[in-house]
């Protein structure tokens, strides 16, 4: 089987990481041929794909409204002749829907992949365009149950065409890389907390700064909170975060770092993860922290409530509530090392039982084969209802 993925970039985002990991497992475990069509940055995950012998094609694309791009994408599909084309994220979904117009029925199976609730992710005009684009696809995958429900209720995708496929993680690879040297030295005697994700409004760094300011001084005395992520072309927002931290006397607490390929090694050295996002689909970083045996404090968005068992494998707090976030952080900081270790062990056990990438990749492969007609039987959806 030949699977072609279409995605905007191979930058450091969670959707990109998950597409890459699925592709690697399809190649290594099932012997599938896998290709990527990318029209922006290809650097961050390119080494991982090269190692697994997954082809990456950088297609030329002009500005945001390059009307010639669907034709170039269509020509690439024609040349590659895949059995399945799977587009990830809203804009690649739209471009791929336009490219499909040149392909008659009887060609590859076409799938769109939603990585978070599209209502929260895009504006009104984009939502209207996406609603039309989804009609072009044989199926739509969603990596979170809220996103799957939204596809049915707000975008009119028929329930039987929506397939919930959560994210997964390669535990053997993660553990191997966790044993490598960390990307920077961590101060001894400090509690190291990290918010990993691009520095942008949706990740809610400013809310975290506000919550940190409410934590009792004795609990945050030796705290270091690392903001690890791409600055995403938002210098004013970053300066606002820095100014808010300074105004609350947190200049020595909050530290900023660019994204790193040594994330497993970083997580092996820190003490906890915090994710105060306004919205998420299935947050990879929570899964990765759990795989690292870390306790997590996260807002109750996307699939977070199904990932974390509040009080056992982490702390789940209402989104957008600085007081609740401060309370969750205080609970984490007040735990003994033994209690934190037990919480991290419970988190790791959840990942081992439910979210191994091997099983998630096989679920994708089964769907691809059924849509392409190489396996008998119906293509069964999750039956999400309005």
Determine the Cα–Cα distance for residues 297 and 275; give it in Å rounded to an integer: 6
Let me know if the fold of 2-168+356-372 is the same as that of 172-354.
Answer: yes
pLDDT for 386 equals 41
The SS3 assignment for 142 reads strand
Determine the Cα–Cα distance for residues 134 and 136; give it in Å rounded to an integer: 5
**Cβ-proximal residues to 152 (8 Å cutoff; 6+ apart), any chain:** 158, 159, 162, 384, 385, 386
Q: Which two tokens stand for residue 83?
A: 């059995």
CB 290 within 8 A of CB 327: no
Which class would CATH give 2-168+356-372? alpha beta
Determine the Cα–Cα distance for residues 265 and 140; give it in Å rounded to an integer: 34
Using alpha carbons only, what angle is made at residue 294 by residues 289 and 298, rounded to the nearest 5 degrees?
65
| Domain segments of the chain as ranges | 2-168+356-372, 172-354
Dihedral sign for Cα atoms in the order 82, 86, 87, 93? positive
- The per-residue pLDDT for range 123-180, each reduced to its tens digit, is 778 889 999 999 999 999 999 888 899 899 989 999 999 999 999 999 999 999 999 9
**Cβ-proximal residues to 238 (8 Å cutoff; 6+ apart), any chain:** 199, 231, 256
pLDDT for 198 equals 84
Range 172-354 classified under CATH 3.20.20.70: no
Determine the Cα–Cα distance for residues 149 and 355; give it in Å rounded to an integer: 21
- The per-residue pLDDT for range 54-65, each reduced to its tens digit, is 999 999 999 889
The SS3 assignment for 364 reads helix
> Which ranges of the chain have pLDDT less than 70?
116-122, 232-233, 374-386
pLDDT for 315 equals 98
CA 149 to chain centre: 18
pLDDT for 199 equals 84
Determine the Cα–Cα distance for residues 296 and 283; give it in Å rounded to an integer: 12
């Amino acid at each position: 089987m030949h699977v072609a993925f279409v995605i905007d970039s191979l930058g450091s985002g969670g959707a990109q990481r998950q597409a890459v990991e699925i592709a690697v497992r399809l190649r290594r475990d099932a012997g599938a041929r896998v290709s990527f069509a990318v029209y922006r940055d290809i650097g961050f995950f390119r080494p991982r794909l090269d190692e697994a012998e997954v082809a990456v094609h950088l297609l030329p694309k002009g500005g945001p409204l390059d009307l010639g791009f669907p034709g170039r994408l269509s020509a690439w599909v024609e040349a590659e002749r895949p059995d399945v084309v799977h587009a990830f994220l809203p804009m690649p979904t739209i471009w791929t829907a336009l490219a499909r117009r040149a392909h008659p029925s009887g060609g590859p199976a076409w799938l769109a992949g939603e990585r978070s609730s599209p209502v929260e992710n895009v504006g009104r005009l984009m939502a209207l365009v996406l609603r039309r684009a989804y009609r072009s696809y044989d199926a739509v995958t969603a990596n979170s149950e809220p996103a799957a429900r939204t596809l049915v209720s707000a975008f009119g995708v028929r329930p039987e065409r929506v397939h919930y496929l959560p994210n997964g993680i390669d535990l053997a690879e993660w553990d191997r890389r966790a044993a490598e040297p960390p990307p920077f030295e961590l101060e001894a005697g400090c509690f190291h907390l990290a918010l990993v994700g691009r520095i942008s409004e949706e990740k809610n760094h400013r809310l975290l700064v506000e919550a940190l300011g409410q934590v009792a001084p004795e609990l945050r005395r030796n705290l270091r909170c690392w903001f690890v992520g791409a600055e995403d072309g938002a210098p004013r927002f970053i300066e606002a975060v820095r100014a808010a931290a300074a105004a609350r006397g947190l200049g020595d607490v909050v530290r900023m770092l660019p994204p790193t390929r040594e994330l497993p090694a970083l997580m092996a050295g820190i003490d906890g993860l915090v994710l105060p996002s306004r919205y998420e689909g299935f947050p990879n970083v929570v899964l990765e922290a759990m795989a690292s045996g870390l306790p997590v404090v996260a807002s109750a968005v996307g699939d977070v409530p199904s990932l974390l068992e509040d009080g056992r494998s982490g702390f789940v707090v209402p989104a957008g509530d600085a007081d609740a976030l401060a309370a969750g952080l205080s609970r984490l900081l007040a735990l003994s090392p033994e209690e934190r270790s037990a919480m991290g062990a419970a988190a790791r056990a959840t990942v081992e039982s439910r979210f191994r990438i091997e099983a998630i990749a096989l679920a994708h492969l089964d769907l691809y084969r059924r849509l392409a007609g190489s396996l008998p039987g119906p293509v069964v959806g999750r039956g999400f209802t309005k």
